[in-house]
């Protein structure tokens, strides 16, 4: 067992009771009626599951918060299941006779929605598509019900929002429990990597075993601040399932002294299954992991500003001026001569916490100079990218900028003339035209590059009679 038990004399609104939590997987075959003997191949996981649920049952929680990747999921919203309760069964896994019913803590749901709204976290009961309990919820409850049933649940889906927003939602859960005087337990439901073995159903990527090694170290020691060290691209390549569940759970345990214990890890079917348990008691103000993460972001922003070149500085200053005042700044003096005298297509990209926050550009120049091109596209990237809402003033210190100045496109006759690290690609069919910049994180092959460019243009994946062009860029960041 790892005891993370720092103390602090700072003022703190301590929880009304200890908080129990568990990180658990949800392989359907772990249910005997589904596995029909295969569950014996993950016997350590089965035994650890029983142990974890006994720990939660011993705390006799009023409310169990279940964080499930298989509940309703939206890109920009946390769905909290509405109503008084729901049922579910394992019909899709050929065991319809295994059924569960759960009663929802409706008061908790209402208060949580109000708490989240106060801190501008988009969460609520809207948009339910399927009332049935999902297997990411049912499997933990199936084990818990063997030891304890006198509880209600709050079922929460994950979202495409940032890691920090998931952590903040956890903080809201904790505050809600305090306001209502609820003794809670938190279940972070999620498998680990699905890319552990070439023989597995999802194949192998080297990021798979690496993700599992790192996440079990983080979760097994309760060092939750390191959850922010995983890039979203790395998580995607590892095909993990539960990272955001774990972040919400960590947010519930923010600033608390935590006893953490790793119970098991297995991955015999090409998918990682990890179980860790936590018991939190008393304040530990130095475990304010989100504040530490955001302070690091601000330090990095200061460093970037001190080291940015004229291209990036102009993009940043343009966005900051436009978002704060609604006006475009004039072209400043003292820029490199080429920015005044040369023309080129320019892309301005914004990222926030490692995720794209806006990207708009021009394939060919539409203004009189590179400087003007940067200003126009910086405004568009921050306020007119249809994939994102306009940047708010509160976000400005969190943005990372890059500026790509495009070389002249040249027509090519074959994808063999492309190189994803050196050349961008333009795919044209009729009036449809899609562009993808070179050397992008997560784009590892020419096939991927062309496919994404086609999707951006609305060109069918199967289309072969397309015009290909390549171009080089000078990237400023």
Q: Are 177 and 107 in contact (CB under 8 A)?
A: no
Closest CA to 466 of 438, 435, 430, 436: 430
- Summarize pLDDT for 95-133 with one digit per residue, the tens: 999 999 999 999 999 999 999 999 999 999 999 988 999
Q: Are 22 and 276 in contact (CB under 8 A)?
A: yes
Task: Calculate the CA 92 to chain-centre distance.
Answer: 27
CA distances from 32 to 50, 94, 238 (A): 14, 12, 28
Tell me the average pLDDT across 385-414: 93
Q: Are 249 and 186 in contact (CB under 8 A)?
A: yes
* pLDDT above 70 (res 251): yes
Instruction: Give the orientation angle of helix 163-180 with respect to helix 289-307, to 10 degrees.
Output: 150
pLDDT of res. 10: 32
Q: Are 34 and 119 in contact (CB under 8 A)?
A: no
- Summarize pLDDT for 347-356 with one digit per residue, the tens: 999 999 888 9
Closest CA to 13 of 154, 240, 175, 151: 175
* pLDDT above 80 (res 212): yes
Banded pLDDT at 454 (limits 50, 70, 90)? very high
CA distances from 354 to 315, 349, 400 (A): 18, 12, 8
* pLDDT above 50 (res 193): yes
For 298, residues 6+ apart whose C-beta sits below 8 A from its C-beta are 397
**Paired tokens of 396:** 């400005």
* pLDDT above 60 (res 375): yes
- Give the pTM: 0.85
Percentage of the chain beyond pLDDT 70 is 96
Tell me the average pLDDT across 312-317: 97
Beta bridge partners of 95: 90
pLDDT of res. 303: 92
Q: Are 90 and 34 in contact (CB under 8 A)?
A: yes
* pLDDT above 90 (res 160): yes
pLDDT of res. 205: 95
Beta bridge partners of 474: 405
**Complete domains list, the chain, with CATH:** 13-291 (3.40.830.10), 308-405 (3.30.700.20), 407-477 (3.30.1490.150)
Rg (CA), the chain: 25
Task: For the chain, give the mean pLDDT.
Answer: 94
Tell me the average pLDDT across 70-75: 95
- Summarize pLDDT for 168-185 with one digit per residue, the tens: 999 999 999 999 999 999
Q: Are 403 and 375 in contact (CB under 8 A)?
A: no
**Paired tokens of 2:** 């790892």
Closest CA to 62 of 181, 146, 145: 181
- DSSP codes joined into one string, 392-419: PGGGGGGEEEEEEEEPPPEEESSGGG--
Alpha helices (H) along 59-130 = 106-118
Percentage of the chain beyond pLDDT 90 is 89
Distance CA 348, CA 404 (A): 7
Tell me the average pLDDT across 375-389: 96
- Summarize pLDDT for 4-41 with one digit per residue, the tens: 443 333 333 444 567 899 999 999 999 999 999 999 99
Place of tokens 């073995």: 197
Banded pLDDT at 1 (limits 50, 70, 90)? low
Distance CA 136, CA 156 (A): 11
Tell me the average pLDDT across 431-444: 90
pLDDT of res. 7: 34
Cα-Cα-Cα-Cα dihedral sign, residues 221, 226, 227, 229:
negative
Distance CA 216, CA 228 (A): 14
Banded pLDDT at 301 (limits 50, 70, 90)? confident
Determine the Cα angle at 126 with ends 120 and 132, to 5°: 130
Q: In the structure, how many helices (H) and strands (E) does the chain have?
A: 13, 19
Distance CA 239, CA 219 (A): 18
**Paired tokens of 243:** 């990272």
pLDDT of res. 464: 85
Q: Are 188 and 249 in contact (CB under 8 A)?
A: yes
Distance CA 12, CA 22 (A): 24
- Strands 467-471 and 410-412, how do they pair? antiparallel
pLDDT of res. 39: 95
Q: Are 454 and 466 in contact (CB under 8 A)?
A: yes
**Paired tokens of 46:** 């089965």
Banded pLDDT at 3 (limits 50, 70, 90)? very low
């Amino acid at each position: 067992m790892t005891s993370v038990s720092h103390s602090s004399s700072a003022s703190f609104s301590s929880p009304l009771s200890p908080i129990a939590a568990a990180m658990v997987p949800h392989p359907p075959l772990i249910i005997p009626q589904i596995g029909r003997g295969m569950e014996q191949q993950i016997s350590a996981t089965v035994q650890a599951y029983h142990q974890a649920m006994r720990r939660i049952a011993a705390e006799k929680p009023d409310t169990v918060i279940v964080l499930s990747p298989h509940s309703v999921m939206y890109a920009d919203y946390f769905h909290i299941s509405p109503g008084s309760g729901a049922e579910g069964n394992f019909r899709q896994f050929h065991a319809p006779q295994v059924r569960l019913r759960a009663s929802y803590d409706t008061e908790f749901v209402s208060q949580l929605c109000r708490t989240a709204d106060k801190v501008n976290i988009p969460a609520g009961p809207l948009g339910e598509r399927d009332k049935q309990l999902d297997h990411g919820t049912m499997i933990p409850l199936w084990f818990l019900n063997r030891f304890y049933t006198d509880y209600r649940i709050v079922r929460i889906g994950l979202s495409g929002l940032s890691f920090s927003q998931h952590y903040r939602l956890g903080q809201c859960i904790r505050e809600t429990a305090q306001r209502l005087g609820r003794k809670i337990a938190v279940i972070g439901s999620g498998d680990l990597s699905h890319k552990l073995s070439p023989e597995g159903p999802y194949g192998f990527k080297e990021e798979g075993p690496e993700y599992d090694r790192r996440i079990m170290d983080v979760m097994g020691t309760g060092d939750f601040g390191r959850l922010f060290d995983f890039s979203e691209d790395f998580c995607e390549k590892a095909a993990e399932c539960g990272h955001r569940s774990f972040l919400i759970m960590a947010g519930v345990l923010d600033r608390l002294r935590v006893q953490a214990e790793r119970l098991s890890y297995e991955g015999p079917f090409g998918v990682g299954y990890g179980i860790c348990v936590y018991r939190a008691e008393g304040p530990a103000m130095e475990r304010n992991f989100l504040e530490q993460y955001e302070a690091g972001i601000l330090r990095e922003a200061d460093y970037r500003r001190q080291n940015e070149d004229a291209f990036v500085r102009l993009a940043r200053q343009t966005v900051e001026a436009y978002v704060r005042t609604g006006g475009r700044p004039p072209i400043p003096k003292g820029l490199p001569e080429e920015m005044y005298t040369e023309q080129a297509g320019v892309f301005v990209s914004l990222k926030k916490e490692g995720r794209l926050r806006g990207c708009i550009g021009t394939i060919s120049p539409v203004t009189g100079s590179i400087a003007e091109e940067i200003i126009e596209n910086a405004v568009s990237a921050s306020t007119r990218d249809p994939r994102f809402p306009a940047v708010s003033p509160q976000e400005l210190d969190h943005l990372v900028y890059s500026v790509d100045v495009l070389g002249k496109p040249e027509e090519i006759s074959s994808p063999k003339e492309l190189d994803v690290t050196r050349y961008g690609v333009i795919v044209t069919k009729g009036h449809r035209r899609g562009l993808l910049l070179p050397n992008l994180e997560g784009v590892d092959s020419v096939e991927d590059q062309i496919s994404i460019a086609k999707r951006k243009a609305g060109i069918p994946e199967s289309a072969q009679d397309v015009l290909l062009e390549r171009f080089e860029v000078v990237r400023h960041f």
